[in-house]
Chain A
Amino acid sequence: MPVDEKTLTEREKELALQFQATKDRLRETKRQVAMVMDLNKCIGCQLCSMACKSLWTSLEGREYMWWNKVNTLPGKGSPKDWERKGGGYKVLFGGKVRDPVRGELPTRRDFGDMWKYNFDEVFTGKAGEKVLRAQNPDGSDPDWGMNWDEDQGGGTYPNAFYFYLPRICNHCTYPACVDACPRNAIYKREEDGAVVIDQQRCKGYRFCLESCPYKVIYFNFVTKTSMKCIFCYPRLEQKVATACARQCTGRVRFLGFLDDVNGPIHKLVKVWKVALPLHPEYGTEPNVYYIPPLAPPRLDEEGKIDLTKPRIPPAYLRFLFGPEVDAALATLNKELEKVRGGGKSDLMDILMAKQWLDLFGPFRTDPATLERKPPREQKA
């Protein structure tokens, strides 16, 4: 039963306005850094996941976290069935009202938990006697992981299909987590719009995990606080691209300011309109966008190429990226045809990214050239 606005006292109305003003302030940004991921180039190698893990999530209760992960689609993703756990907003009156939607909390096993391996047994045991196996912290056998349903996909032979979906925090324009936190611990950074959780203010109540429709927030059982992708903001401050973007071997990830009209992000999102947010109906306005997957052509019953229908069911792509996906795919196909016919396409030039650094907008600095000190020396 939601609050009946008519029954509020004057003081309650005053407080509500104050709280609303605080949330507006926490969402305010001067500029927004955004990312575009080209799903046609992702090979699911998880180099992005490993770059993120070695940089941010290898210690102190973060071990089981994947601030960056690559899920196989169609699939249940991680945490398992995250798309069925609610959260986000119901957008009303053309975006004038965002009505929060109740979400559910995943379990640590839905995330995949932190497996322990019997390295000692295998190392010291007799050859062939012991095999390497993983266990959940409670001793049970793992039954989910960050890409557990890898390459299973959907469809049937000869028209089976799958593609990869790399996921990070979407650093939304209307982050459900910012609204959810009763402690005002979550905010968007003014200078780049990265959504971050103030670890000093967070008390681990997990309303943010509940409300995030993308379920990209993790609970740290050691620090008893919630944690998530920070858009590598310490790197952005030094004009270095995020670790996931620099490490990507497929040149999948574009990075830059959304309002930089000369940058690839603006061109892909605003001009060509081929980069789309995941589940726009969640109402949070993500700042991570995806170039939808084209997939190889369908084969008919005789095994011949059938161009009358796409291999990936359009309804599935509409489910993921909204109705705009039809126009985006049409544009991509049209521009692709141009190039196949020997012509030139500005869009394909951007997507091919022959110059690696062109992916990163203003974030081109090589981190190896920065003068850095180990954290211990920095503190001293």
Chain B
Amino acid sequence: MRLHNHLHIINAYVIDPSQDFEGRAELLIEDGKIKTLAAGEKIKNAKGAEVFDAEGMYVLPGLIDMHTHLREPGFEHKETIRTGTLAALKGGFTTVCAMPNTNPVNDNAGITEFILKKAEREGNANVLPIGAITKGQKGEELAEMYMMLSAGCIAFSDDGNPVASSLTMRRALEYARGFHALIISHSEDPRLSEGGVMNEGFLSISMGLKGVPSVSEEVFIYRDIALAEYTGAKIHIAHVSTEGSVRIIRQAKERGVHVTAETCPHYFSLTEDAVAGYNTNAKVNPPLRSEKDVEAIKEGLRDGTIDLIATDHAPHSLEEKTREFDNAPFGISGLETALPLGMELVRGGVLSLKDLVSKLTIQPAKILQISKGSLREGADAELCVFDPDKEYVLDPAALLSRGKNTPFAGHRMKGAVVATIFKGNLFKW
């Protein structure tokens, strides 16, 4: 890595859905900003700029992850703000939204400020903290959302825990509506999924593992959409994993409810079969589902029911993941595999290249109302350079995240982020 205050990217294939642009172009970066995006022509006033030849590469706006667990403070053995944002950069993400289930929980402005300070000092990417909806994420009293918003929180979520009480969720939505804040719902009925460790079905029975039924997610998505509709608040549904959930969200959107939704790469790339052999690296919440759910998720991405792709990057230590399946923690380390997995949707004809990039850049930017995810002239120079043809076998040891917990270990991957540009720095991987 070194400073590149003046960079001239040539021979690039640029995809920037924010400007509805896809095609060959040159880019000029000056003082950390996009100076020029020249479609199909050469940039002439680039004298003195260092040249980056992106022949054969896709050049995209830096990706935005709306759902990341950076684990700091409190769980630094799993990940830190430094390592998590480095993993983000390697995955092409220049902005990550940090979920509040840290220790202590990010449920007050003091913790928010700590995270932001730490990110400023040690972070390798933009960190946008997400505050807790309720104090200690206990689902009882509302956290000081207004103060956290003023301190720099971008949205609110009790992610990791559902807000079990419908009354608390109603109040949270009403309260947040007052200052146009976004509530992100981890939709799961805690009683229906109690003790569950994988998708409920034939396989869970045959493996002797307690199942998390799809209705556990769907019942709460129904509830949260109904509450959003009733209160007129905005709601974003995190990590959608089932066919029924996609259907419920689609119907709500048709009615005009202010609902948006995300899914994660593992929900369109893997089925529950990945847990065979009691593979704890495939233990995630919500669990990997059935083939028909995977197909429905893809359809939801295709028709726009699912607005965006987030990673739900949930790093854990090797020791934690070598526990018995029942006691191993939920989660997949996802920042460094998201883009190549997303690219499979393009290869499989589910999404156009532009739609895929949109779901990783301008879509989350719009929902979060931030001026990121674009290569417009004057925008911060945050870019991701992707080699779509690079083939390799995924080695978890090569991940920069502290969490090596990936169910894609040993999988043949196609496509890799080869460089990320952030704050005038060029990182070549």
State yes or no: do A and B come from one complex: no
